[in-house]
Amino acid sequence: MGKNYHAVIDAGSSGTRLFLYEVLSGAYPEITLVAEIENAQIADGRREDGINNFVDPAKPSLAKEVVPLTIVPLLLQLKKTLGELGVSPEDVVVDLFATAGMRYTERMYGTACVQEFYDGIKQGIADTGFEPGQVRTSDGEKEEGVWTWINLNDLERDIFRSDAVPFGVVEVGGSSVQLSFPAQPNTAVTGRTQVVLINGRTFNVQCKTYLGLGQDDARKKMRINLAEKASVCFPDSLLPDHDVGDVLDGVGHYRLSDAGRYHFEHCDAAYEAIINAIHKEHPLPDLTLAGLDFIGTDAVFHATKYWDIEQEPIKLAKMIMAYCQDSGEFPGIETNEFIQAQAANATYVRALLFGQCGLFSREPSRLTSALPNKVAGKTRLTWTRGYLLQKYALPI
């Protein structure tokens, strides 16, 4: 087979991104990123915050807005890129896979409502002149987690063309945490174990997804649980009038009532309680038992990069206690929502990784580093490429 182009839309809980790849099938496929398209705002000027915000059975007209406001702008920009390449849109398959945000939505409103929503998106893709592929929610464990693991280990370890030992992956997103790692030799294959076969190399990859443990959902839950005491998770320099706040679907907008007054023990205790509650129903594994090293991504990277300790995540507690009470440590906090949330998010990530029920509480050194999703402005760590690596891998 010759080269072709394949577009994948990553419909995440915090935004919608389109990736265009040049693809050459083979035992080890060549998957090359050609373009990535993401809009900070939807067509009416509002912040782009995920397609799940367009699903509400009580407001049926809302679902009809997702295509013109979010999907079509991406596809029109894609058409321009394809025109420069001399490629016709009708020759390009466009898949859309939603992640944790839509998994929550389906729990809230049911499968039928979500399927009707997806049908509208699929028709919108076709009406824009592209070949619609799969439009659905991905399975966090059998698909997204596996694809993430494939891509990271291909790029960082070249495991499909060598005998290198793979990494495990801890991906902390906005709504969920995903854990992916190869099973120990002779481990029985279970429902959460997926066989990955690329270029003659086989791995039994175990994946686990925990909804509600993403940093944004955890921060929202912290605000709800602490109410007016939530200021203990924010720096002294954050004033109520500057707080961007957090919106919890169907509940309300939460903002500080008092200026920040960060207190590590109190903030940590709030997050430990959130983690412990989920741990009781869905126990978090001790990842040190996997017998290999792990890489952290997404929120793990952002929490550590702020203090340049992404190569030594274990130092997170030290940096938090040293700097989160220092108002001068957060320049731009008046307007930057990410800086506003840094102390809270870092405290949560530390608890998740090294706290009472932490993934690496017994052997912290197993988390060797955190990696950025983007390098030189281009996305490098994305499950979309892992999806295509597996899809276009031909048997030897």
Instruction: Tell which phi-psi region holds residue 218, choosing left (phi > 0), alpha (psi between -120 and 50) or beta.
Output: alpha
| Structural contact between residues 28 and 160, judged by C-beta atoms closer than 8 angstroms | yes
Structure tokens, 173: 């997103």
CB atoms near residue 298 (< 10 Å): 23
Confidence (pLDDT) at 211: 85
| Structural contact between residues 95 and 17, judged by C-beta atoms closer than 8 angstroms | no
Which amino acid belongs to residue 194? Q
Orientation angle between helical segments 100-109 and 111-127, nearest 10 degrees: 130
Confidence (pLDDT) at 188: 57
Would you say domain 4-138 falls under CATH 3.40.50.880? no
Distance of CA 340 to the CA centre of its chain: 20
Q: Would you list the domain boundaries of the chain?
A: 4-138, 215-375
Confidence (pLDDT) at 25: 96
| Structural contact between residues 380 and 298, judged by C-beta atoms closer than 8 angstroms | no
Spatial CA neighbour of 30 closest among 59, 10, 1, 58: 1
The residue to which tokens 């699903």 are assigned: 55
DSSP 393: B
Which amino acid belongs to residue 389? L
Run of H or E residues at 144: none
DSSP 40: S
Helix, strand, coil: what percent of the chain each, to 5? Answer: 45, 25, 35
Instruction: Tell which phi-psi region holds residue 15, choosing left (phi > 0), alpha (psi between -120 and 50) or beta.
Output: left
Structure tokens, 211: 């909804």
380 — phi, psi (to 5°)?
-110, -45
**Residues forming beta bridges with residue 12, ordered by sequence position:** 15
249 — phi, psi (to 5°)?
-50, 125
β-strands 131-137, 93-98 pairing: parallel
Orientation angle between helical segments 145-157 and 383-391, nearest 10 degrees: 90
Orientation angle between helical segments 316-323 and 337-354, nearest 10 degrees: 140
Q: What is the pLDDT along the chain (396 residues), one digit of tens a residue?
A: 567 999 999 998 889 999 999 999 999 999 999 999 999 999 999 888 899 999 999 998 999 999 999 999 999 999 999 999 999 999 999 999 999 889 989 999 999 999 999 999 999 999 999 999 999 999 988 899 999 999 999 999 999 999 999 999 999 988 889 999 998 765 555 557 899 999 999 999 999 989 889 999 999 999 999 999 999 999 999 999 999 998 765 556 889 999 999 999 999 999 999 999 999 999 998 898 889 999 999 999 999 999 999 999 999 999 999 999 888 899 999 999 999 999 999 999 999 999 999 999 999 999 999 999 999 999 999 999 999 999 999 999
Q: Where are the alpha helices (DSSP H) in the chain?
A: 60-63, 66, 72-85, 100-109, 111-127, 145-157, 215-226, 264-281, 299-305, 316-323, 337-354, 383-391
Structure tokens, 30: 């060549």
Distance of CA 5 to the CA centre of its chain: 24
Spatial CA neighbour of 325 closest among 353, 355, 346: 346
